[in-house]
Structure 1
């Protein structure tokens, strides 16, 4: 669940680490749907038989599928400034894909607020470090620094 904070206390939340999100299982159906949306049908994602012969032993999720799951996970790890009425995705300062996510793996997000600053009155820029953990794996799927903007009344 997102945490509501007061704009007068934003400095207190730099370094705030949210609880890990619930787990999400990456299914072949989800991978196939993502392949259809992005027109990326590389065999390692969609051909289960061919993918068995790779070092991964199965299909793997697209790196961008794992990255796109941040929108889903943000519902649980976000810090929302009181008076929020609109948010914007401003992109990423850094993204590193470290470990492929094999089909039927479970992933979850860990998030830490790196910076919050008021750019204009009622407009706050947040930078959040997000790590996508793969259940049972020491290496995360990815680490990203996600920039967002929150508009508050």
Structure 2
């Protein structure tokens, strides 16, 4: 039985972050809803810049779900913010680690713990150094630049 994704963006803050409580399956059929909900909120005066996704109630996550997380992370990063994931399902840990995204998106078992690891808000920039590892640009871009330099 398929469960629809539900995204509730809690405007209450935890360590200065907006917490988005996500429940259900985050897959090909509905992953876009999470990103759309963020962009809807981004158009308001309460535009979040530091967001923790609470995946405690997420039952399943596929590559489309990871893609939605990456889109959200890029939008936040480009706007001077950061993204983290609390209570990620095991498959999320595995996919984020294998793809290298775990170096860029904080993950942990508590909302407060993840919120504490997020970068402080900064001026919007594209491709600036990421606060967690100092590399510039999105994942993999440093390898492409190194290859072009050869």
What TM-score, normalized to structure 1?
A: 0.24
Query: Greater share of strand residues, 1 or 2?
Result: 1
The higher-RCO structure (CA 8 Å, 6+ apart) is 1
Query: Greater share of helix residues, 1 or 2?
Result: 2
What TM-score, normalized to structure 2?
A: 0.25
